[in-house]
Every structure is written in C-alpha cells, then in structure tokens.
C-alpha cells in the first residue's frame, strides 16, 4: 500500500486564518474590531508559549489581541472579579483563561464565571449544551472544531462513516462526539477502560486519537485505508535533540502512515488549527453581538 497522504494542518490553518482576517475586516468596516483577551495566571512556560501565539495570531488577523498576566498567587476571588470586568467590557468579545490554572483555583468556577457569549473556548456548560443540541450560536471547543474543518478541507466526508474517538476528555473527546454525531457519523468512544481496545480501534474508518499517550496507536490497530487524525502533543526524551526532548503525537506516525490513507503529522497537524478556530470563534462572538 502507498504511504498515506499527509493532511497539512499548517496549510489548512493558514486558509482559515485568511478567512477570519477577511471577516474581521468586514466587522471593522462596520465599526467593531473583534477582540480576544487571554488571561494567564502564573508562569508555566508551555502556557506562556501558547498565549503568545494566540495574541500574535489575533494581531495578524487584524483583531485586538490582549494578554493579562497575573502572578501565580492571584486569589480565585481576584481572578473571578477580573472575569466580571471583562464580561462587562464591550470591546472584549472573547475571553480565554489559559488552563491549567494554579492548584488553589477551581478551573470549573473560572469556566462558569465567563459569559457564555464570550466563552470562545467552548468550555462553559451552556456552550456544551448548545453544541450538543445543535444550536448554531454555541461555541464548540477549538481543537475538535479544527478537526472537523481539517477533514472537510481534506475532502473526507464523515457521513455514515465509523468514527472511533480514542479519549474522553472534556476538551477533545466529548465535544468531538457531539460534532461527529451532528455530522452524521457513527461514533464510538473508547478509552483506558475499553475492553479489547485494539479491535475497537481497528473498526475505525476515521480514527481520532486524543488519549495523551506517546505513539500509542500502532500500525496493527489501524484498518488499511483509514483516515487518522492525531490530536496528541507529547514530550518524549530525546538526547539527540538539542532541547533534550521531541514532540510526538498519540500515533506511531512512521508505521501508521504506511497503513492509513490520510494522516495528520505532529507537529504541523491539528495543533495549528486550534488557534485558527479560536480566532474564528472570536469573530463570530463579535458578529453575534451585533445581531
């Protein structure tokens, strides 16, 4: 079998960001500059990298991108008070509090405090419900929404297909179910407790791996010709790399790409789509406010 065709997330994300920039320009012409405010509590280095990338992407799309950095010992009450201010600020259309927050802060209390209309992460229970029942004004979490766009742009029709989602997190696995059901796929969710997991995974026409285990999916777990989407971002030790580590997905790319028909790489696959979808949600939040 020929090696799989690679679905290039960088290219698809660039396309989405160009669409977002066009939509943002149309809003600016109507007197509204879409704005995203990211709140970062503490100084986790990986979070700092993600937050900078989000702000930069906003500015490149012609939007307002602002980051509020708070010390790690910020109290939950102070963080919630800041969210109240941002909820009330008409120039802020999207609010994102970067996760994880420090241990003394309850992430669910933070998520609940953000106005559902500004929750461009799609984590608020109101948005979870809106997406689940198919209300168009709901915000879907950016990573699973990005997976749907990648599949569409790669010409993969999910209707009637057996989609297996490996992982059941609130950020990826569960919302992925909701988007795939809405798109008329036949959906199976499996996870660490699934009996005979490899045989369930082998039933996939489309496999979404989001289990957070480096190179977990091996070639013998993939049906020949399947489409494989790798959501994993895992650091593994690598003495040959100057950084001392390298980033791998949840899929053994070298082996699985010999079996799959289409596959996403890591890095350069789903990752870049997440920020593109965040911008898209923010422009939609601004648009919905005008309506």
Is the Cβ–Cβ distance between 54 and 65 less than 8 Å?
Answer: yes
Annotation says 262 is catalytic: no
Tell me: does residue 98 bind ligand GUN (CB under 6 A).
yes
Q: Which of 212, 173, 216, 202 is nearest to 260 (CA)?
A: 202
Of these, 55, 121, 205, 215, which contacts ligand GUN (CB under 6 A)?
Answer: 121
77 phi and psi angles, rounded to 5 deg: -60, -40
In whole angstroms, the minimum distance from the beta carbon of 277 to ligand GUN comes to 9
Q: Contacting ligand GUN (CB under 6 A), which of 16, 63, 92, 96?
A: 96
Q: Which is nearer to ligand GUN, 221 or 279 (CB)?
A: 279
| Of residues 100 and 244, the one with the C-beta less far from ligand GUN | 100
Stretch that binds ligand GUN, among 71-79, 97-105, 185-193, 259-267 (CB under 6 A): 97-105
Query: Is 142 one of the binding residues for ligand GUN (CB under 6 A)?
Result: yes
- Backbone φ/ψ region at 167: left (φ over 0), alpha (ψ -120 to 50), beta: left
Q: How far apart are CA 61 and CA 35, in angstroms?
A: 11
Q: Give CA–CA dist 179/171, Å, rounded.
A: 12
Query: Euclidean distance between the first and final Cα of the chain, in Å?
Result: 51
Catalytic residue among 23, 54, 118, 252: 54
Would you say how long the chain is, in residues?
291
**Residue 98 or 161 with smaller CB distance to ligand GUN:** 98
Should residue 68 be labelled a site residue for ligand GUN when binding is judged by CB under 6 A? no
54 is a catalytic site residue: yes
**139, 122 contact by CB (below 8 A):** yes
Looking at the Cβ atoms of 161 and 274, the one nearer to ligand GUN is 274
What CA–CA distance (Å, rounded) separates 27 from 10? 25
Q: Does 105 bind ligand GUN (CB under 6 A)?
A: no
**Segment near ligand GUN (CB under 6 A); pick from 20-28, 93-101, 131-139, 228-236:** 93-101
Q: Is residue 115 packed enough to be buried (19+ CB in 10 Å), middle (13-18) or exposed (0-12)?
A: middle
Q: Which of 121, 230, 250, 252 is catalytic?
A: 121
Active site (catalytic) residues: 54, 98, 121
Q: Which residues contact ligand GUN (rule: CB under 6 A)?
A: 96-99, 121, 142, 274
């Amino acid at each position: 079998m020929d090696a799989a065709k690679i679905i290039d997330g960088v290219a698809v994300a660039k396309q989405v960001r160009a669409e977002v920039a066009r939509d943002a320009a149309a809003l600016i012409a109507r007197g509204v500059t879409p704005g995203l405010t990211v709140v970062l509590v503490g100084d986790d280095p990986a979070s700092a990298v993600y937050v900078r990338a989000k702000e930069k992407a906003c500015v490149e799309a012609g939007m307002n991108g602002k980051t509020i950095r708070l010390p790690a010992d910020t109290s939950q009450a102070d963080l919630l008070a800041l969210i109240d201010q941002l909820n009330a600020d008409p120039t802020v259309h999207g609010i994102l509090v970067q996760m994880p927050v420090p241990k003394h802060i309850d992430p669910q209390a933070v998520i609940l405090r953000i106005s559902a209309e500004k929750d461009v992460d799609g984590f608020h229970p109101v948005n979870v419900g809106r997406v689940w029942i198919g209300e168009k004004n709901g915000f879907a979490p950016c990573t699973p929404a990005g997976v749907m766009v990648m599949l569409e742009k790669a010409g993969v029709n999910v209707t009637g297909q057996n989609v297996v989602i490996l992982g059941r997190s609130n950020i990826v696995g569960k919302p992925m179910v909701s988007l795939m059901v809405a798109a008329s796929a036949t959906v199976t969710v499996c996870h660490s407790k699934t009996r005979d997991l490899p045989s369930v995974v082998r039933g996939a026409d489309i496999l979404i791996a989001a289990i957070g285990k480096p190179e977990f999916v091996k070639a013998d777990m993939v049906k020949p010709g399947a489409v494989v989407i790798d959501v994993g971002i895992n650091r593994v030790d690598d003495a040959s790399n100057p950084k001392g580590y390298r980033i791998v997905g949840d899929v053994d790319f070298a082996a699985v790409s010999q079996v799959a028909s289409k596959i996403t790489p890591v890095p350069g696959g789903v990752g870049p789509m997440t920020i593109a979808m965040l911008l898209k949600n923010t422009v939609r939040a601004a648009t919905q406010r005008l309506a």
